[in-house]
């Protein structure tokens, strides 16, 4: 009996071991499946992840610093056009902006640029060719900061130079002056006599002569280097304009920044005192829209220099991460320069102006950029 119980006990134990062995085999197979599952899961996000999971977080706000040229904000011309581009960037791109003005002589340009760089600005713009030396110095000292300069080209790779075909736009307003003069005498007032402003002169003269080579052109400059006050002296502008009108000119074009405000006053004064209408031509911005209503009737047109567009596009490139140093030229082919039609005073000659414009863009007319 005892032997029988022992035999059954041994059989029961053997049977149990067999069952355990089978169970262990099933568990091992299940473990292999569990180990493979994570590998499949790692591949799935590439095709099934929700858009919110892959969206890039918003970057920090781009900060901009602009330092104006002599004359500063309120010149109704060059500096104000630069500010218009900055203002558009604030409104459309959401950038943080700071703008500064140099002292009267402009000796602290480098100091202001460095102040902006030390403050961690993403892009710093110097408004005008007079920043050439200063921006070269500061951009070299801050190679990781983006800089922009208007009307100049400098060496550092982190500076974007914005230059314009002022002679092309000036050619078109020269055509307008020639088509509108009744006395066959017109005038040009330059702010400071140096190569940049001479581009305006050269284009204007060429446009006038293209229409009528017999028209007389009276050319005067407010100052010569190193005196750059010729960009901010309305009294001087008025004095020159009155003399030119008195000498027989009935259309005068200025490329003199804030000094040009004196031209508009002179045009009104002479027209009212003589009883004969004389014209003024503005520059940089559509100056019909920047002067008082009482001066608007005397502004024939303006040579548009789209500094606002250049400033905006430079800031936008920093926001988009596409900023590149080098030079960008804004000419007639991209409407970087042009003429205004506000007031309707050139409506009757627009077809002729557009014909000359198309010839310049096509290369049929080459406009000189030196007198």
> What's the CATH number where 177 sits?
3.40.50.2300
Give 78-109 pLDDT, tens digit per residue: 999 999 999 999 999 999 999 999 998 889 99
Reading the block at residue 112, the tokens are: 């202001």
Q: What is the mean pLDDT of the chain?
A: 87
User: Could you tell me if 146 and 177 lie in one domain?
Assistant: no
Give 26-50 pLDDT, tens digit per residue: 433 333 333 333 333 323 222 222 2
User: Could you tell me if 246 and 128 lie in one domain?
Assistant: no
Q: Is residue 266 part of a domain?
A: yes
* Residue where a domain stops, chosen among 100, 132, 164: 164
Confidence check: pLDDT of 9 > 60: no
What whole-number percentage of the chain has pLDDT above 70? 84
Confidence check: pLDDT of 15 > 60: no
Classify burial at 314, counting beta carbons within 10 Å of its beta carbon; exposed 0-12, middle 13-18, buried 19 or more: buried
User: Could you tell me if 222 and 350 lie in one domain?
Assistant: yes
Give 235-282 pLDDT, tens digit per residue: 999 999 999 999 999 999 999 999 999 999 999 999 999 999 999 999
User: Could you tell me if 119 and 248 lie in one domain?
Assistant: no
Confidence check: pLDDT of 60 > 90: no
Cβ neighbours of residue 83 under 8 Å, at least 6 residues apart? 66, 68, 73, 99
Q: Which of 329, 318, 365 is nearest to 158 (CA)?
A: 318
User: Could you tell me if 147 and 212 lie in one domain?
Assistant: no
* Residue where a domain stops, chosen among 111, 129, 164: 164
Q: Is residue 312 part of a domain?
A: no
What whole-number percentage of the chain has pLDDT above 90? 81
Q: Is residue 209 part of a domain?
A: yes
Q: Is residue 28 part of a domain?
A: no
| Least-confidence region, from 16-30, 146-160, 317-331, 356-370 | 16-30
User: Could you tell me if 113 and 176 lie in one domain?
Assistant: no
* Residue where a domain stops, chosen among 164, 192, 218: 164
Q: Which domain holds residue 173?
A: 166-305+341-362
User: Could you tell me if 91 and 234 lie in one domain?
Assistant: no
Q: Is residue 191 part of a domain?
A: yes
Is there a contact between 285 and 202 (Cβ–Cβ < 8 Å)? no
Tally the domains of the chain.
2
User: Could you tell me if 138 and 191 lie in one domain?
Assistant: no
The pTM of this model reads 0.80
Confidence check: pLDDT of 73 > 80: yes
Give 345-363 pLDDT, tens digit per residue: 999 999 999 999 999 999 9
Q: Is residue 21 part of a domain?
A: no
User: Could you tell me if 173 and 279 lie in one domain?
Assistant: yes
pLDDT value at position 59? 60
pLDDT value at position 76? 85
Confidence check: pLDDT of 206 > 70: yes
Q: Is residue 69 part of a domain?
A: yes
User: Could you tell me if 116 and 189 lie in one domain?
Assistant: no
User: Could you tell me if 198 and 277 lie in one domain?
Assistant: yes
Q: Is residue 323 part of a domain?
A: no
pLDDT value at position 104? 84
């Amino acid at each position: 009996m005892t032997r029988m119980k022992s035999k059954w006990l041994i059989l029961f134990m053997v049977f149990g071991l067999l069952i355990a062995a089978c169970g262990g085999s099933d568990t091992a197979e299940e473990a292999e499946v569990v180990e493979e599952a994570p590998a499949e899961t790692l591949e799935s996000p590439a095709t099934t992840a929700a858009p919110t999971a892959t969206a890039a977080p918003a970057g920090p706000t781009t900060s901009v610093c602009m330092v104006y040229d002599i004359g500063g904000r309120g010149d109704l011309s060059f500096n104000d056009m630069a500010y218009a581009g900055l203002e558009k960037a604030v409104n459309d791109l959401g950038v943080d902006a700071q703008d500064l003005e140099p002292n009267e002589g402009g000796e602290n340009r480098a100091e202001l640029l460095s102040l902006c760089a030390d403050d961690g600005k993403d892009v710093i713009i110097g408004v005008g060719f007079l920043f050439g030396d200063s921006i070269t110095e500061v951009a070299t000292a801050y190679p990781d900061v983006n800089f922009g300069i208007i009307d100049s080209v400098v060496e550092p790779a982190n500076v974007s130079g914005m230059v314009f075909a002022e002679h092309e736009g000036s050619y078109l307003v020269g055509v307008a002056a020639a088509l509108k003069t009744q006395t066959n005498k017109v005038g040009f007032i330059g702010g400071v006599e140096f190569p940049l402003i001479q581009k305006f002169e050269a284009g204007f003269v060429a446009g006038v002569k293209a229409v009528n080579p017999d028209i007389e052109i009276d050319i005067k400059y407010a100052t010569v280097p190193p005196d750059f006050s010729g960009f901010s002296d309305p009294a001087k502008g008025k004095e020159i304009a009155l003399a030119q009108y008195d000498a027989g000119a009935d259309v005068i074009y200025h490329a003199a920044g804030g000094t040009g405000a004196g031209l508009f006053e002179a045009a009104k004064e002479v027209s009212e005192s003589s009883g004969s209408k004389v014209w003024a031509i503005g520059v940089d911005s559509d100056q019909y829209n920047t002067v008082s209503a009482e001066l608007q009737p005397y502004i024939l047109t303006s040579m548009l220099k789209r500094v606002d567009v250049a400033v905006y596009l430079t800031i936008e490139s920093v926001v988009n991460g596409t900023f590149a140093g080098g030079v960008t030229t804004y000419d007639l082919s991209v409407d970087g320069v042009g003429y205004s039609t506000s007031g309707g005073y050139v409506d009757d000659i627009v077809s002729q102006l557009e014909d000359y414009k198309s010839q310049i863009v096509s290369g049929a007319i080459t406009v000189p950029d030196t007198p």
